[in-house]
Amino acid sequence: MSAQSPARWTDPEQQELEERVAAAELAWLTMDVDVQTLRVEIDNFALIHHQLLGPLYARLDELDALVAEAVAARTGRPEDLRRAAEARRQVEELPDLDALFDSVREQSGQAEDGTPPPPAAPTRVRPGKDAQRIYRELVRRAHPDLTTEPAEQQRRAAFLARVNEAYAYGDAAALEGLAAEWSTAPEAAPAVDAPDRADWLRRRLEWLTARIAATATEQVRLEQTPMGELLALAPQDPDRLLEQLAEELLAKAAERQAELERLLGGRDPAPVGDNDTDPSYSQESHTMFAQIPSTDAAAVPADAALLDVREQDEWDAGHVDGALHIPLGEVIARLGELPDDKLYVLCRVGGRSAQVVQYLVQQGRDAVNVDGGMYAWEGAGRPMVSSTGQEAFVL
């Protein structure tokens, strides 16, 4: 008869704590994976949304500004002038997101530690199923909070940073390589028979409960962001949603274009959103400003009082030395700065300046629009200077 080892006694309370902690860890890790997955999808959706729809939104903003400027030029009402200035300012103040993304990528490629630039931008919002499966398994196995050792937590956090980057780009092959790497790494397991195990389990359970609540809060926050709400409209096929949004924006742009052509008297408008527009082709119909005083750039007296109503970047690139600079949107508020002399008003092609001249004439001021704006001024060989000291040009 062989000797039997005595059964190991287990504290029922501690056993229950072990089970509750294990269940809480599983619930939290599952929720954390879901939140990280949602964050990756929202980030990818935002990037592709910008790349695909950004130019369409910019075109709509430009068309809105041109429509508002055409209305203001016809009526000359202060309220319409204000709306036109606000619409134009919205276009001017749009951040150059392409340059922002490019600068980030350039900086990444020139890092001092010699790390290579990141992979190409994702082409889909949601990584493939293989990438999702491997990612979830890796997070469950390697999460930093599965250990209490500071050094091990740091190692796991650095490893998961690589995992998250690979998942962000949907790189299943890279994730498989990381999974193989992790399977050969030693893992530190906490002692299960330590005297203070029960106290540790209680603290762990309290911490996990707080983490679950915080993760749930973060999930709600992500879902309520503008991109999160957009993504929720088609959670099963976000790429198709982007296509539908593009179709809607194209239809709106066509409507704005038709409205602009109607306001301009049926003439085909110049291309919008491009500073290289042919200077001989104004964005406004000449009949629209037939009743306001105007003159050619070559006929402006050398000692004339000049008002430039362009934006700051346009002024910095090239302007007439001695001219007064007041952007279109600030003219009404800064009327007191205008000289009492006859005032010659300039902009890039003559549209914005015509609006200002029409308003000033209605106020009883002696104002003249310079036809063709700074393009005509440059074409007439009139002198210009820049704010930077470099060669002046019309922006």
139 neighbors 39 (Cβ within 8 angstroms): no
Strand order in the sheet with 294-295: 294-295, 367-370, 343-346, 305-308, 324-325
Burial class (CB in 10 A: 0-12, 13-18, 19+), 87: buried
Among 162, 175, 163, 161, smallest CA distance to 129 is for 175
Q: Pick the catalytic residue from 63, 347, 349, 367.
A: 347
Both tokens assigned to 357? 């001249």
Bridge partners (DSSP) listed for residue 325: 308
Task: Say how many C-beta atoms besides its own lie within 10 A of residue 84's C-beta.
Answer: 25
3-state SS assignment for residue 1: coil
Q: Is 359 a catalytic residue?
A: no
Question: What are the start-end ranges of the E strands in 219-325?
Answer: 294-295, 305-308, 324-325
- Rounded (10°) CA dihedral 42, 46, 48, 49: 120
Q: Please identify every residue annotated as catalytic.
A: 347
